[in-house]
């Protein structure tokens, strides 16, 4: 089937939207809310996108895109370079390896899977940050970030699923 230039361009633009949405979540997660202490417990919004796309459309969010999202997260959050990058890439690889398990499962199973991924990501981030700064941060902030991240997952999962069903239906 011969596609016109505009049809090919449309497919390309639709195809890169998971990456663009992930980058938007990185930026959205760094918007200052002027709530004391919120930066330490801000949800890991990009992790939700990495998880979703690694299960449902891994070809649209490859590892190199996850790597760049992690670099941007590190740059904007003030984290040591490589912490979020490593966490996002490792979680992406793990979830892609288990994606066939999640396909066709109920949302509760997908959510529980995300809770496990978020727990590991939180522990990795806390540990890597402690190693980098040679000091342990409080566990309370990491736990609060985990709870907020897992609690917000259903909203973002629904939005991403709707995007996938509408915008990416033909990609």
Instruction: Give the pLDDT of residue 35.
Output: 82
What is the average per-residue pLDDT within 134-143? 87
Residue 4 counted as domain residue: no
Q: What are the E-state strand segments in the chain?
A: none
* Domain residue limits at 92: 15-29+41-166
Residue 61 above 90 pLDDT? yes
In a domain, 51, yes or no: yes
pLDDT at 55 over 70: yes
pTM above 0.75? yes
Looking at residue 144, which CATH number applies to its domain? 1.10.1760
Q: At what angle do helices 5-28 and 63-77 cross, to 10 degrees?
A: 40
CA–CA distance, 52 with 157 (Å, rounded to integer): 7
Question: Which residues fall within 8 angstroms of residue 23, CB to CB, at 6 or more apart?
Answer: 68, 69, 72
Handedness of CA 61, 64, 69, 73 (dihedral sign): positive
Q: CA-to-CA distance for 46 and 19, rounded, in angstroms?
A: 10
Q: Does 10 reside within a domain?
A: no
34 found inside a domain:
no
> Is residue 99 a part of any domain in this protein?
yes
12-36 per-position pLDDT tens digit: 999 999 999 999 999 999 988 888 8
Total of domains in the chain = 1
**For residue 63, pLDDT beyond 70:** yes
- Asked whether residue 2 is assigned to any structural domain, the reply reads no
Asked if residue 3 belongs to a domain, the reply is no
- Output the average pLDDT for the chain: 94
**Residue 7 located in a structural domain:** no
On the 0-12 / 13-18 / 19+ scale of CB atoms within 10 A, 67 is: middle
């Amino acid at each position: 089937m011969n596609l016109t230039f505009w049809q090919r361009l449309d497919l390309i633009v639709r195809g890169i939207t998971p990456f663009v949405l992930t980058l938007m979540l990185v930026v959205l997660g760094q918007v200052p809310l002027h709530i004391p202490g919120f930066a330490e417990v801000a949800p890991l919004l990009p992790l939700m996108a990495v998880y979703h796309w690694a299960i449902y459309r891994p070809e649209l969010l490859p590892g190199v895109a996850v790597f760049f999202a992690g670099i941007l997260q590190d740059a904007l959050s003030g984290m040591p370079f490589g912490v979020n990058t490593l966490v996002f890439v490792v979680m992406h690889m793990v979830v892609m390896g288990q994606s066939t398990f999640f396909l066709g499962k109920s949302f509760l199973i997908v959510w529980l899977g995300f809770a496990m991924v978020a727990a590991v990501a939180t522990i990795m981030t806390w540990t890597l940050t402690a190693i980098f700064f040679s000091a342990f941060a409080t566990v309370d902030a990491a736990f609060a970030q985990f709870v907020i991240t897992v609690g917000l997952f259903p909203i973002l999962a629904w939005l991403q699923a709707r995007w996938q069903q509408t915008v990416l239906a033909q990609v």
